[in-house]
Amino acid sequence: MSGDQIDCGPRFNDSHKYKEKEHKHKDHKKDKEREKLKHGNSDLKDFSDKKHKEKEKMKHKDGSADKYKDKHKEKKLKSLDGKVKKENGFASPPQVKSEPEEDFFSSPKIEKSLKRERDNDNDSDFKPKKVKIENDKKVKKRKPDEELKKTKNKRPVADGKKKAKKEPEEKWKWWEEERYTDGVKWKFLEHKGPVFAPPYEPLPSNVKFYYDGKHMKLSPEAEEVATFFAKMLDHEYTTKDVFRKNFFKDWRKEMTAEEKSKLTDLKKCDFTEMSDYFKAQSEARKAMSKDEKLKIKEENERLLQQYGFCLMDNHRERIANFRIEPPGLFRGRGDHPKMGMLKRRIRPKDIIVNCSKDSKHPEPPPGTKWKEVRHDNKVTWLVSWTENIQGSIKYIMLNPSSRIKGEKDWQKYETARRLKKCVDRIRTQYREDWKSKEMRIRQRAVALYFIDKLALRAGNEKEEGETADTVGCCSLRVEHIKLYPENDGQEFVVEFDFLGKDSIRYYNKVPVEKRVFKNLQLFMENKEPDDDLFDRLNTAVLNKHLQELMEGLTAKVFRTYNASITLQQQLKQLTSAEENVPAKILSYNRANRAVAILCNHQRAPPKTFEKSMQNLQAKIDAKRDQLSDAKRELKSSKADAKVRRDEKSKKAVDTRKKAIERIEEQLIARRTSRLLSALPSSTIWTLASLWLGVRSGAFPWRRSTTKPSARSLPGPLTWQTTTLNFKSKFGFNYDTLLFLFLFSRILCF
């Protein structure tokens, strides 16, 4: 079955980041560090081919003439819709009955919420206990004040620790509540402010630094920066010219005049004692006694309880990153011009605090002051500061499990669902636009085609020299694509080769339609390799156009949509009701992989990858042998049973059969883990769940973030602790269970 191609495809065999391999990506700048590139995989091709064909089929089905008319109709309808609530885009436009959306399920929960949204003028829904009238007449949903204080008192920090874990209270089903409108993000916000990085502890005097072979005592400031470098000594970063240059320049800024005059050559600096010292320290940390470890854990927990939560409206919500980023050396990804620069220590006077006026403001450390205390409830952050490398603003915000993030996430999928309803129309339109007389429209249409078909990112412009040279769709340059009128028996093939987000290489060869091909030829005419492919297009223009096609539509919605729909289709295609559980899981993971491929999600092979892969393969082989042995045995027992015709030999046959089943399951499980080890982190889990319309009420969500980024799973958790038992008892874990649940719903398609 075709899944096998997806399973454990060659990505990791040829994608090892560290192996050098020359390829033709021509860079603006230097052609250094190419080894870092990750290499594409042939899966990608197969997959896009398939997708392509599917789309073709689709196109033929719905006669485009009709579509065209529809387009106009819909346009009119849209303008009649009038204003829909903006902020929380959930508000479904006044639904016309004629759209039975049988294709996917909205869970009852969702429908309920949407309904609420519609008649949100009446307050009658409110839980009595929460009602406390405020002065404004607008819809009130969340009542700070009284309720708030109650909660506050109920949760003194001291005993919070165990309690908070053990009795998770009733979970708050924010998704059943109404939402703020008009850009208000909260009414009440109180928190303790950030946790600063621990102050620098000077090295013990026996740990020495040498310059040109001679011991040299550094000033604390210079020494601190030196330790940053020393800690990275084993990393290949420190061998790079740019890194070293940036580091040395910034280091010198921290030196005393004397040090500055003495230390003029980084090559002559010897950090090895420092480096060894830190290694020894981390060894020591590992070797700590249980008690000591527990102590640290407790201390962390205390800090978490104290600083890791805030009070937003009536609820105690987890903060995502309450620790301020510690100073260190900047590690950009890819060929970053600023790698090695000193990331400054953040002080209270750099910090802007955001909270409600009527809250207890966080105190700056004794003897210091905040830069500013602000009360802006149109934003979601609690703390911000400006970082010194790029000059960008960093924020402390809430955890993905929070209402504020959950709502956003939900909204994102709702938008993707809306796209599903009109994607045909949009596709028809951009295909029309390939023929437009206007260059800018053609470019827009071709770019959109790429974004849709290949799930490329939008590609905002970036400031040259400030970041690594990466591109997205709109910022593609001529040098990033190659055209082949004919390639490997296919017509009109476009070869993409560029560095995308995080300097991950995107390599793909795709056959495109003739019109697209011709257009590309046109766009490339008389251009230099480093000219923009779409010179009449940028993301703003594109998004403006998309906005006209559907409210809330932007380029990134296509990624969400296509990832989701791909998962859905793959699941449908790969799974069948008769399979046993492990087989279903394998299929599920294969479907996931298809999405990862579509989105070009990649991850570096872990350091131990090669070895563990071999181990795994060995295990798989062993199982396979075991299986064939078992089958042979079954045969002989069957023969035996035929001759003897007694109970005992019949039983033997049964036992053998059972054994085979078990082995088969184990084999599949091993294959699954092989597959999983090649799956990168991604948003897939969220995808699967939210897209399929599963919500917390319907299924016990894991609250915590991550796993291929279930990072943004909303909702309550009652589950985590039971998961472990679950796994040992039943041999499969929470994810499996989640899958089984999803699977049962998929069958409803």
Partner DNA sequence: CCTGACACTTAGCATCAGAACC
Partner DNA sequence: GGTTCTGATGCTAAGTGTCAGG
239-278: contacts with DNA (CB under 7 A): none
DSSP-derived secondary structure letter, 510: E
Backbone torsions φ then ψ of 74, nearest 5 degrees:
-65, -35
In whole angstroms, give the CA distance from residue 731 to residue 635: 29
In whole angstroms, give the CA distance from residue 472 to residue 556: 11
Among 320, 510, 641, 688, binds DNA (CB under 7 A): 320
Residue 306 is a binding residue for DNA (CB under 7 A): no
Cβ contact 557:542 at 8 Å:
no
Among 175, 251, 330, 743, binds DNA (CB under 7 A): 330
Residue 412 is a binding residue for DNA (CB under 7 A): yes
Closest approach, Cβ 734 to DNA, in A, equals: 6
Closest approach, Cβ 139 to DNA, in A, equals: 20
With contacts defined by CB under 7 A, name the span among 165-173, 242-250, 252-260, 728-736 that binds DNA: 728-736
In whole angstroms, give the CA distance from residue 148 to residue 203: 47
Which residues, including other chains, have CB under 8 Å from residue 491's CB and lie 6 or more apart? 485, 511, 514
CA distances for 51 relative to 4, 23, 566, 594, angstroms: 17, 27, 9, 11
**In the window 176-195, what residues touch DNA (CB under 7 A)?**
185
β-pairing, 209-211 vs 214-216, is antiparallel
With contacts defined by CB under 7 A, name the span among 97-105, 501-509, 515-523, 652-660 that binds DNA: 501-509
Judged by CB, which is closer to DNA: 346, or 516? 346
Judged by CB, which is closer to DNA: 5, or 386? 386
Residue 696 is a binding residue for DNA (CB under 7 A): no
**In the window 533-572, what residues touch DNA (CB under 7 A)?**
539-540, 543, 547, 554-557, 559-560
For the chain, the farthest-separated pair of C-alpha atoms sits apart, in whole angstroms, at 98
Cβ contact 576:478 at 8 Å:
no
How long, in residues, is the chain? 749
Judged by CB, which is closer to DNA: 39, or 603? 603
Closest CA to 535 of 440, 432, 434, 460: 440
Residue 17 is a binding residue for DNA (CB under 7 A): yes
In whole angstroms, give the CA distance from residue 504 to residue 343: 24
Judged by CB, which is closer to DNA: 462, or 657? 462
Closest approach, Cβ 717 to DNA, in A, equals: 9
Residue 502 is a binding residue for DNA (CB under 7 A): yes
Cα dihedral 305/309/311/317 (nearest 10): -120
With contacts defined by CB under 7 A, name the span among 363-371, 481-489, 697-705, 738-746 that binds DNA: 697-705
Helix (H, G, I), strand (E, B) or coil at 94: coil
Residue keyed to tokens 């859905």: 568
With contacts defined by CB under 7 A, name the span among 90-98, 201-209, 477-485, 699-707 that binds DNA: 699-707
Cβ contact 668:582 at 8 Å:
yes
**In the window 636-675, what residues touch DNA (CB under 7 A)?**
673
Among 15, 88, 592, 712, binds DNA (CB under 7 A): 712
Closest approach, Cβ 636 to DNA, in A, equals: 28
Containing 546, the helix (H) or strand (E) segment is helix 539-549
Residue 422 CB neighbours (<10 A): 17
Residue 582 is a binding residue for DNA (CB under 7 A): no
Backbone torsions φ then ψ of 178, nearest 5 degrees:
-85, 165
Residue 326 is a binding residue for DNA (CB under 7 A): yes
Residue 387 is a binding residue for DNA (CB under 7 A): yes
Residue 504 is a binding residue for DNA (CB under 7 A): yes
Among 408, 482, 518, 638, binds DNA (CB under 7 A): 408
Cβ contact 221:254 at 8 Å:
yes
Helix (H, G, I), strand (E, B) or coil at 426: helix
Closest CA to 347 of 388, 300, 390, 399: 388
Closest approach, Cβ 248 to DNA, in A, equals: 19
Judged by CB, which is closer to DNA: 255, or 473? 473
Among 164, 207, 373, 379, binds DNA (CB under 7 A): 379
DSSP-derived secondary structure letter, 375: -
In whole angstroms, give the CA distance from residue 316 to residue 313: 8
Judged by CB, which is closer to DNA: 1, or 288? 288
End-to-end CA distance of the chain: 22
With contacts defined by CB under 7 A, name the span among 47-55, 215-223, 497-505, 513-521 that binds DNA: 497-505
Backbone torsions φ then ψ of 557, nearest 5 degrees:
-60, -30
Residue 140 is a binding residue for DNA (CB under 7 A): no
With contacts defined by CB under 7 A, name the span among 65-73, 164-172, 512-520, 720-728 that binds DNA: 720-728
β-pairing, 352-354 vs 309-312, is unpaired
Residue 49 is a binding residue for DNA (CB under 7 A): no
DSSP-derived secondary structure letter, 493: E
Q: How far is CA 678 from the centre of its chain?
A: 16
Closest approach, Cβ 318 to DNA, in A, equals: 8
With contacts defined by CB under 7 A, name the span among 270-278, 431-439, 635-643, 702-710 that binds DNA: 702-710
Residue 391 is a binding residue for DNA (CB under 7 A): yes
Residue 616 is a binding residue for DNA (CB under 7 A): yes
Residue count, binding to DNA (CB under 7 A): 98
Residue 328 is a binding residue for DNA (CB under 7 A): yes
In whole angstroms, give the CA distance from residue 538 to residue 462: 11
Among 702, 715, 716, 738, binds DNA (CB under 7 A): 702
**In the window 465-494, what residues touch DNA (CB under 7 A)?**
467-468, 470, 472
Among 682, 688, 697, 738, binds DNA (CB under 7 A): 682
Among 242, 709, 714, 739, binds DNA (CB under 7 A): 709
Closest approach, Cβ 439 to DNA, in A, equals: 15
Cβ contact 68:428 at 8 Å:
yes
With contacts defined by CB under 7 A, name the span among 103-111, 112-120, 148-156, 722-730 that binds DNA: 722-730
In whole angstroms, give the CA distance from residue 712 to residue 724: 22
Helix spans in 311-352 (H)? none
Binding mask 441-470 for DNA (x = CB under 7 A): ----------------xxxx-x----xx-x
Among 380, 562, 564, 587, binds DNA (CB under 7 A): 380
Among 323, 347, 361, 657, binds DNA (CB under 7 A): 323
Q: Tell me which amino acid residue 68 is.
A: Y
Judged by CB, which is closer to DNA: 380, or 637? 380
With contacts defined by CB under 7 A, name the span among 75-83, 362-370, 646-654, 709-717 that binds DNA: 709-717
**In the window 274-303, what residues touch DNA (CB under 7 A)?**
282, 285, 293, 297
Residue keyed to tokens 């790698």: 339
Closest approach, Cβ 242 to DNA, in A, equals: 12
In whole angstroms, give the CA distance from residue 588 to residue 193: 42
Residue 677 is a binding residue for DNA (CB under 7 A): yes
Binding mask 596-615 for DNA (x = CB under 7 A): ---xxxxxx-x-x--xx--x
Residue 337 is a binding residue for DNA (CB under 7 A): no
**In the window 196-235, what residues touch DNA (CB under 7 A)?**
none
In whole angstroms, give the CA distance from residue 266 to residue 249: 10
Residue 547 CB neighbours (<10 A): 12
Burial class (CB in 10 A: 0-12, 13-18, 19+), 25: middle
Residue 503 is a binding residue for DNA (CB under 7 A): yes
Cβ contact 689:742 at 8 Å:
yes
DSSP-derived secondary structure letter, 287: T
Closest approach, Cβ 255 to DNA, in A, equals: 23
With contacts defined by CB under 7 A, name the span among 239-247, 263-271, 498-506, 630-638 that binds DNA: 498-506
Angle between helices 684-691 and 555-574 (to 10 degrees): 80
